Amino acid sequence: MNKIKLIIAREYLTRVKKKSFILMTLLGPILMAGLMIVPIWLATKDKDLQRIEVIDETGMFINMFDNTSELQFKDGFRSIKKAKADLYTGNYTAILHIESVEKGSEVTMFYKKQPGITTISKIERTIESVIRSAEIQRRFKVSKEQISEIQPNITVKPISIDAEGDEESKNVAIMTGIGFFAAILIYFFIFMYGIQIMRGVIEEKTSRIVEIIISSVKPFELMMGKIIGIALVGLTQFLLWSILTSIIYSIIMGVFGVDAGSMSQSTEMMKEAGMPDVSNPLQLVNDGIASLPILQIFVSFLFYFIGGYLLYGALLAAIGSAVDSEADTQQFMLPITIPLIFSFVVAQTVVENPDGSMAFWLSLCPLTSPIIMMVRIPFGGVAAWELILSMVLLILGFLGTTWIAAKIYRTGILMYGKKITYKELWKWLFYKG
């Protein structure tokens, strides 16, 4: 046991003292905080104003387009030819030409400034609404005023309710983002530090240093010390990233001022009416994160980060011991990477149905649970027994892969100059001694 501790200390101290580790530890939180803050900050900035001239040859859409802070519509009573000729000398950024509204006809937009998909969708919805209202008036002899009275504005607000009847409103977008972010971090750390194990084993093997090392320690002790030591490096970096990211995030939230005087009186009225405040996206995100089971997410992340890393790290160490160069690892990497890649492929389906049978079984499988379970947990539908069972199976999976890796490691670490096949690896699993 003391020998394993010495190997762990060597692997840990060697890596945390590197300049690359220190640099990434400092830059990582800035990048992560930027990924969270910059998109929200950009959403709060004023967008460029689009001025659209409406050339309506049908006469149905006069004064029918509503102006917003980003879109201004003005009816133009002139020919489309004249409007197009003046586009680059006038104040308009686009021309909306409505020539016909018969079924299957198209409405044309000429622009000098690319309209966004939101702008186009708004125009399409407005045109469809006007045509629909006109058709209802014609068929059912209903007045425009009567139609305008029937304009429901419905918003679906998801609220979870537990067995005790307690209700809680949650932001699905925030839950999805947190789940995917945690899954991506696990995926990133498994490969980044798992590859370090594999490369370290290959380097020691090719330089013949391992022959000196294993004269003092057993191959299994060397493998476990290397895996755990590098795991502690990754855990240290993650904890530092978490602390520094939280500090940077809090500072930026304070600078933007989520409850500053910029909040208008209308926002206060929305609050009194029980409506969500969307005037400040930073506040919306902050409230969404506050509604999540942060402690459960954090503890689960640490467990699946460590468990997933140990499981895959052992296999990668075995691959490193079986080959003589990194180029020879490609044939063995595919079976290991397939479960993780598959997890990301089906993660979107899991988000759509986090309590479904596919999500349940994949969150129990040790090879996929580090990704799938972290996608599910923010949604709050994972029962305690499911989480415990998943963790137990991941531990058993780690023990199983470690046994397999140890068998391959003890034979392959001293084998040189031979191209290893899957058949050869299978024989190594049953070598005695």
- DSSP letters, 142-202, are --HHHHHT---------EEE-TT--EEE--HHHHHHHHHHHHHHHHHHHHHHHHHHHHHHH
Residue with tokens 């986090």: 354
41 lies in some domain = no
Residue 364 confidence (pLDDT): 93
pLDDT digits (tens, 9 = 90+) for 140-183: 877 767 777 776 666 666 666 666 766 666 667 778 888 888 88
Return d(Cα 388, Cα 374) in angstroms, integer.
14
Mean of the per-residue pLDDT values for the chain?
Answer: 78
24 lies in some domain = no
Query: What mean pLDDT comes out for the span 40-45?
Result: 61
Residues 406 and 365 in one domain: yes
**pLDDT level of residue 31 (50, 70, 90 thresholds):** confident
Residues 195 and 102 in one domain: no
> For residue 110, is pLDDT > 80?
yes
Return d(Cα 150, Cα 228) in angstroms, integer.
65
Helix (H) or strand (E) holding 416: none
Q: Which of 66-75, 191-200, 203-212, 259-268 is least confident?
A: 259-268
Residues 232 and 353 in one domain: yes
pTM of the model: 0.65
Structural contact between residues 218 and 414, judged by C-beta atoms closer than 8 angstroms: no
Higher pLDDT, 55 or 235: 55
Residues 314 and 237 in one domain: yes
Residues 129 and 187 in one domain: no
Q: How buried is 52 (Cβ within 10 angstroms: 0-12 exposed, 13-18 middle, 19+ buried)? A: buried
Phi, psi of 153 (to 5 degrees): -125, 95
Query: What mean pLDDT comes out for the span 315-319?
Result: 85
> For residue 54, is pLDDT > 60?
yes
Residue 396 confidence (pLDDT): 94
Helix (H) or strand (E) holding 346: helix 330-352
The total domain count for the chain is 2
Residues 138 and 185 in one domain: no
Query: What mean pLDDT comes out for the span 115-138?
Result: 84
Regarding beta strands 50-56 and 94-98, do their DSSP bridges make them parallel or antiparallel, or are they unpaired?
A: parallel
- Residue 419 carries which DSSP code? -
Describe the crossing of helices 369-376 and 294-322 by its angle, rounded to 10 degrees.
Answer: 170
Give me the CATH number covering residue 138: 3.40.190.10
> For residue 135, is pLDDT > 60?
yes
Structural contact between residues 96 and 54, judged by C-beta atoms closer than 8 angstroms: yes
Residue 283 confidence (pLDDT): 55
Contacts of 242 by beta carbon, 8 Å cutoff, 6+ apart:
none
Return d(Cα 383, Cα 391) in angstroms, integer.
13
**Most confident option among 39-43, 249-253, 352-356:** 352-356
Structural contact between residues 376 and 353, judged by C-beta atoms closer than 8 angstroms: no
160 lies in some domain = no
Residues 201 and 246 in one domain: yes
**pLDDT level of residue 21 (50, 70, 90 thresholds):** confident
Residues 210 and 328 in one domain: yes
Return d(Cα 284, Cα 170) in angstroms, integer.
11
pLDDT digits (tens, 9 = 90+) for 254-277: 665 544 344 344 344 334 434 444
* Cα 83 from chain centre: 45
112 lies in some domain = yes
Residue 42 confidence (pLDDT): 64
Q: Which of 74-78, 257-261, 285-289, 312-316 is least confident?
A: 257-261
Residues 189 and 105 in one domain: no
pLDDT digits (tens, 9 = 90+) for 321-358: 888 777 777 778 888 889 988 998 888 888 888 888 89
pLDDT digits (tens, 9 = 90+) for 359-373: 899 999 999 999 999
DSSP string, 350-404: HHH-TTSHHHHHHTTSTTTHHHHHHHHGGGT---HHHHHHHHHHHHHHHHHHHHH
CB atoms under 10 Å from CB of 267, counted, come to 16
220 lies in some domain = yes
Contacts of 192 by beta carbon, 8 Å cutoff, 6+ apart:
234
Query: What mean pLDDT comes out for the span 278-305?
Result: 70
414 lies in some domain = yes
93 lies in some domain = yes
Three-state DSSP class for residue 138:
helix
- Find the domain containing 61 and state its range: 50-148
Regarding beta strands 94-98 and 108-111, do their DSSP bridges make them parallel or antiparallel, or are they unpaired?
A: antiparallel
